[in-house]
Amino acid sequence: ALPAKVTIWEVGARDGLQNEKSVVDVQTKAEFVRRLLAAGLPIVEATSFVHPKWVPQLADAAELMTMLDNPDLPVLVPNERGLDRALELGLKHIAIFGSATETFANKNLNRSLDEQFAMFEPTVVRAREAGMDVRAYVSMCFGDPWEGAVPIDQVVSVGKRLFDLGASQLSLGDTIGVGTAGHVKQLITAFGEAGLGTDALAVHFHDTYGQALANAYAALEVGITTFDASAGGLGGCPYAESATGNLATEDLVWMLNGLGIEHGVDLDSLVATSVWMAEKLGRESPSRVVTALA
C-alpha cells in the first residue's frame, strides 16, 4: 500500500533561485518563502551559506535569514565557515551536500570525493554539539554528466558515510534528472539492504528528462515519505551541466491529491505563488500543473 501521508521538502527558494540568471532581490525572496509557508508547505529550505563567489545568487543569505527571523527554516552549509554564519543567526537546521562522484565533488565543492568528508565531518560534529538538526544530500545518485552512470554500490557507500556523520535524513539527488523508475527502486532497496531504511531517506528529483514524477511514484511505491520539490519547477545546480528544474511541487501535489495522500499544501495558493514568482523572473513556469491551472 502507498503511504497515507507524505512530507514535501520545498527547495524552490534555494535550489530554484541558486540557478536563476536574473538576480532576485532579497525582499522578493523573503516574500517567496513566506508565501510558500502560507501555502502549507511544512519545510521550506530558504538559502545556502556557501561561498558568495561560487553562488552569487544566494550571497544575501544572512540578510534573508535575518528578515525571515525563523530559525526552523533549513539552509545549506558546506563547511565550518558556512556553519559559523548559520550559528551567528541562531539557525537550527542545516543541510550538508556531498557528491557520489569524484568529478562533481571537485566541481561543486573544490574537493576530491574523499576530501569532502574531511570538510563535512567537523561541520556536522559542531552543528550537532550546538543542537542543530543536520540533513545530508548526496548528489549524482543516478548519473553524472562527466562520469556517466554511477554504480549503485558507490552511491550507497558515499550516502551511508554522509548519513553516519550524524545526519537525521539522507536526500538522494538525481542532480541531472537521468534516473528512471526501476533504477529508483533499485537504489532505495540497496540502501535498505545496507541498513538505511525509507524512514531515513528522501528523494530529490530533477525533471530534465521528464522522469521526475514517475520517479516520485516509484519511490512512493517502495515506501519513501519525504519528497523534495520546487515550486513552479524552478531549479538546477550551477555546477552541474544540464541540471534543469526540480520536480515541480505543483505536479507532485496534483498526483498526491489524485492518490488521496495527505500533504497539507493548498494547491491554489501554491500556483498563485509560482505565477507571481514567474512574473518576477520574467519567464513562465515549466510546470505543467501551473500552466494548466494558472
227 binds, among Mg ion, ligand HMG, none (CB under 5 to 8 A by kind): none
Nearer CB in complex with Mg ion: 15/144? 15
Q: Among residues 68, 138, 237, 240, which one is catalytic? A: 237
Residues 2 to 61: which contact ligand HMG by CB under 6 A? Answer: 15, 18, 48-51, 54-55
Nine cell digits for residue 271: 500556483
Please, which residue, 81 or 283, has the CB nearer to ligand HMG?
A: 81
In sequence order, what are the beta bridge partners of 96?
Answer: 136
Contact pick of 29, 135, 204, 263 for ligand HMG (by CB under 6 A): 204
How far apart are CB 77 and ligand HMG at their closest, in Å? Answer: 7
> Under the criterion CB under 6 A, does residue 254 sit at the interface with ligand HMG?
no
Judged by beta carbon, residue 202 or residue 267, the one nearer ligand HMG is 202
Helix/strand/coil percentages in the chain, nearest 5: 45, 15, 35
The site string for ligand HMG over 135-154 (x = CB under 6 A, - otherwise) reads --x-x---------------
Closer residue to ligand HMG in complex, CB, 75/267: 75
And the C-alpha cell for 118? 574531511
Q: How far is CA 219 from CA 137, 175, 228, in A?
A: 16, 16, 12
CB-count exposure of residue 70 (10 Å: 0-12, 13-18, 19+)? middle
Strand ranges for the chain from DSSP E: 7-10, 43-44, 47-48, 75-76, 93-99, 133-139, 143-144, 148-149, 169-174, 201-205, 226-229
Q: Distance between CA atoms of 116 and 78, rounded to whole angstroms?
A: 9
> Looking at beta carbons only, is 15 or 207 nearer to ligand HMG?
15
What is the rounded CA–CA span in Å between residue 153 and residue 231?
32
Residue numbers 207-246 binding ligand HMG by CB under 6 A: 237, 239
Q: Verify binding: residue 110, ligand HMG, rule CB under 6 A.
A: yes
**What is the rounded CA–CA span in Å between residue 140 and residue 138?**
7
256 binds, among Mg ion, ligand HMG, none (CB under 5 to 8 A by kind): none
| 173 touches ligand HMG (CB under 6 A) | yes
Contacts with Mg ion by CB under 5 A lie at 15
- Concerning whether 237 is annotated as a catalytic residue, the answer is yes
Residue 43 to residue 146: CA distance in whole angstroms = 32
Q: What is the DSSP letter of 45?
A: -
**Smallest separation (angstroms) from ligand HMG to the CB of 260:** 29
> 78 phi and psi, to 5 degrees?
-90, -20
74 binds ligand HMG (CB under 6 A): no
The site for ligand HMG (CB under 6 A) is made up of 15, 18, 48-51, 54-55, 76, 78-79, 81-82, 85, 97, 108-110, 137, 139, 173, 175, 204, 237, 239
Show which residues are catalytic. Answer: 237
